[in-house]
Amino acid sequence: MNTTKAKAYSASSPTSPLVPVEIDRREPGPKDVEIDILFCGVCHSDLHQARDEWHNTVYPCIPGHEIVGRVTRVGSRATKFKAGDLAGVGCLVDSCRKCASCLAGREQYCTAPAVFTYNSDDVVLGGKTFGGYASRIVVDEAFSLRIPAGLDPAAAAPLLCAGITTYSPLRHWKVGPGQKVGVVGLGGLGHMGVKFARAMEARVVLFTTSPRKVEDGLKLGAHEVVVSTNEAEMAKHAGSFDFVLDCVSAQHDINAYLGLLKLDGTLCLVGAPEHPLPVAAFSLLLPRRSFAGSAIGGIAETQEMLDFAARYRVTPEIEMIPMQKINDAFERLLKQDVRYRFVIDMASINA
Ligand code: NAP
Ligand code: ZN
Ligand code: ZN
């Protein structure tokens, strides 16, 4: 297999910082697109994975799955892009394309399983897939996304994970006018959850542990912001929500949020903390509540989300960083100090 070299940032153990390395990318095959990465968002999953908080990381680990770049070459049978186009890559780079999930356009739930953008088996080159903290990526065009005109390419990057991960469950649980919807945690996912739920015309209440984020929550589209450490404020909302989207990256009391649901309401977890979250039986039994989960979204749904974001102007709030600042950015994520997504300006990787 012919390869070309790319620059990247890689973690070599759970405790080592990300450092510059050189990696191989495959030469584009007939259905591939080769993309020079312009921007890559920094998802909390990148941090979980780099530090082996999900206990499955294979090193070296090159995170990054909110990728927007410029197409440089396309394979002989690839028709979706031409050189010079903008293209996106999210959390998925392949799947079996035959199982029931794949046939239903839910490639993220492929039973084979799906090939994720990093830390999955790379069936072409061997070893593990390497993500978007890199100068270039090569991907099957079936797993690439069009970036609609009118979306700023840097701000579009976080849509490819934070955007679709919040959009997909809001759609699946049919959030819309007349519903009261909670979003828990104002980080990368949470701020997109607030924006999408508002664009879908629900009544939106944000729950945050950070009093300093109250004003931002309102500006981003929440009708109301509750500081979740305030028990009296929480009690006012007990048993009143149709749907709650939990976007928290760390340990927290899930029962406090289950208690917000009314009869037949659903709490959907999209946050992926390292340790289990204990659920008290009576948080679910009375009154008949559902506790669910959701992972990213399929490729067609991701394209639908991008088109929705462009049409309704639902775009992430970003802070641009150079590649060299990635370790600082990880530390700031842990301090809940991000407004509200870091995006790496990949031109800096050559600095
Ligand atoms: P993030 O930007 O770091 O935001 C996480 C937010 O959670 C923080 O801003 C904070 O909000 C809240 N939080 C953090 N520590 C907390 C604590 N100890 N107690 C209570 N609240 C706390 O992270 P993200 O990129 O949005 O990702 C959030 C989670 O979703 C991560 O676990 C990530 O791995 C996961 N994720 C899952 C999927 C999926 O497919 N399901 C996709 C992407 C990411 P406040 O300051 O407002 O309290
Ligand atoms: Zn992510
Ligand atoms: Zn499949």
Considering every ligand atom, which ligand is closest to the CA of 104? 3
Query: How close is the Cα of 41 to the center of ligand 2, in Å?
Result: 8
115-116 and 92-94 strand pairing: antiparallel
Residue 136 CA to residue 37 CA, distance in Å, equals: 5
Q: What is the pLDDT of residue 296?
A: 98
Query: How close is the Cα of 187 to the center of ligand 2, in Å?
Result: 12
pLDDT tens-place string over residues 119-159: 999 999 999 999 999 999 999 999 999 999 999 999 999 99
Q: What is the pLDDT of residue 1?
A: 80
- Answer whether CATH 1.10.510.10 is correct for domain 3-161+297-350: no
pTM for the full predicted model:
0.98
User: Which residues have C-beta under 5 Å from ligand 3, the single-atom ion?
Assistant: 95-96, 99, 102, 110, 112
pLDDT tens-place string over residues 258-295: 999 999 999 999 999 999 999 999 999 999 999 999 99
Q: Where are the domains of the chain?
A: 3-161+297-350, 163-293
Residue nearest to atom 15 of ligand 1 (CA): 250
- Say yes or no to pLDDT of 105 above 90: yes
Classify residue 231 by burial, with Cβ atoms within 10 Å: 0-12, 13-18, 19+: exposed
Q: Where residue 106 falls among pLDDT bands split at 50, 70, 90?
A: very high
Q: What is the pLDDT of residue 281?
A: 98
Please name every residue paired with 261 in a beta bridge, in sequence order, or none if there are none: 241
Residue 261 CA to residue 70 CA, distance in Å, equals: 44
pLDDT tens-place string over residues 29-86: 999 999 999 999 999 999 999 999 999 999 999 999 999 999 999 999 999 999 999 9
Token duo for residue 16: 């080592």
Mean pLDDT along residues 2-10 = 97
Please name every residue paired with 194 in a beta bridge, in sequence order, or none if there are none: none
Residue 331 CA to residue 101 CA, distance in Å, equals: 36
Residue whose tokens read 């405790």: 15
Residue 129 CA to residue 61 CA, distance in Å, equals: 9
Mean pLDDT along residues 316-344 = 98
Q: What is the pLDDT of residue 6?
A: 98
Mean pLDDT along residues 98-106 = 98
| Ligand 1 pocket by Cβ (under 6 Å) | 43-45, 48, 161-162, 165, 185-190, 208-210, 213, 247-252, 270-273, 294-296, 333, 336, 338
pLDDT tens-place string over residues 209-229: 999 999 999 999 999 999 999
Closest atom of ligand 1 relative to the 43 alpha carbon:
25
Query: How close is the Cα of 251 to the center of ligand 1, in Å?
Result: 10
What number of other Cβ atoms are within 10 A of residue 101's Cβ? 19
CATH code reported for the domain at 163-293: 3.40.50.720
Q: Where residue 351 falls among pLDDT bands split at 50, 70, 90?
A: confident
Query: How close is the Cα of 105 to the center of ligand 3, in Å?
Result: 9
Q: What is the pLDDT of residue 176?
A: 98
pLDDT tens-place string over residues 154-209: 999 999 999 999 999 999 999 999 999 999 999 999 999 999 999 999 999 999 99
Query: How close is the Cα of 198 to the center of ligand 2, in Å?
Result: 21
Mean pLDDT along residues 317-327 = 98
Closest atom of ligand 1 relative to the 293 alpha carbon:
41
235-to-181, 204, 259, 315 alpha-carbon distances in Å:
16, 17, 9, 32
Domains 3-161+297-350 and 163-293 fall in the same CATH topology: no
